[in-house]
Structure 1
Amino acid sequence: MIFRALSDTLEETVGSREASGFINLVGLAISEEIEAEYLRAAGTSRLDLRGTVDALIDLKRRMGGDFYVIEETERRVVLGNRRCPFGDLAVRSPAMCIVTSHVFGHMVAESQGYGRVTLADTIARGANGCRIVIDLDPDAPDDGGQPYFGKADA
């Protein structure tokens, strides 16, 4: 897997902190490409919230994950996952979870104007499954999430 080789090589060469920064940049670039593909498939310039959530789940399913909706309101989306799409790589390199955060955050922010992604529970940190909280309201309590802002007004 490309991510495994990239992550391992970077961590061995420049260390975990620098590797994490590079993976952040890669995650953002990937998210823009992925979003463009879903927009083309939907024939629209912006997905609504339901379309965005469906796209996130579909994307992770295609990668081998088993994501599902725990909660979905106009203020918040909570997704669960039973199988890591990165396999054992995430356990060895939890920074891979940042790729998920960036892809989810970017796509939600572009469709909704704002999204804050909190990786509440992750398989990489020893949980049985993942729980990803996506707040759509910038005034919602922050539990250490990463904020993302859309390029256009939502």
Structure 2
Amino acid sequence: MADTLHHLTKVLETVAGVEEAEAFFSTVGSNVGHIIYDEYASQLEKECSNGEILPKVLIELENRAGGDFRLIEMDENRIVLENTTCPFGAKVNGTRSACMVTSNIVGHLASNCKGYAKVILEKTIARGDGMCRVSVSFNDDITPGLEYFADD
């Protein structure tokens, strides 16, 4: 699966460009986010208000996919996760558009839990940073990032 994703990402980035590949993977990630949210909906809807369940669900989800995510920081306004193993495998390096899947899944789950979320990919393995650092903010209107809003 990782090899397939790697080749698909490289082809899309080469043929269509990085921005178009990111748009494509954002759509894929959004669709997957809807499916995953439905899987976790009953648990999230009951426990989102206490703030403890969301990071646990995000970490479980990413780690089930093959990542090595852990919680670095959390308060009522922000969650910060770090990861040393990409869920998409070692070949992800150099294919930054694949990170849009992670961003959209995290953003979709977080925004449906909190109403709004901004995902900032501070570091990514795909960009050659050697690790991922994903910040999820619930009220940041200054820092550049990808904004997500709860489904109606």
The TM tier, using the shorter chain, reads: 0.7 to 0.9
Residues 82, 128 of structure 1: 8 Å contact kept: yes
Aligned partner of 1:101 among 103, 106, 116 = 103
Gap regions ≥5 residues in structure 1:
none
Distance 2:53 2:5 in 1: 27
Q: What one-letter code is carried by the residue in structure 1 that aligns with 2:112? A: E
TM-score of the aligned structures, taking structure 2 as reference length? 0.86
Paired with 2:127 and 2:18, the residues of 1 have a C-alpha distance of 16
Q: 1:147 — aligned with what? A: 147
Decide which moves more: 3-12 or 25-34: 3-12
Measured in 2, the distance between the counterparts of 1:54 and 1:101 equals 16
Deviations, residues 52-101 of structure 1 (Å, cap 9, x unaligned):
21111011111110000001100111111111111234213111111111
Q: How many residues are matched? A: 148
Contact 1:46 1:110 in 2 (8 A): no
CA shift for structure 1 position 12: 4.9
Residue by residue over 1:82-140, the C-alpha shift from the partner in whole angstroms, topping out at 9 and shown as x without a partner, is 1111123421311111111111111000000011000011111222311111111144x
Superposed counterparts of 1:1-150, under 5 Å: 1=1, 2-40=4-42, 42=43, 45=45, 47-48=47-48, 49-139=51-141, 141-142=142-143, 144-150=144-150
Q: 1:13: how far off?
A: 4.5
Percent identity among equivalent residues?
36
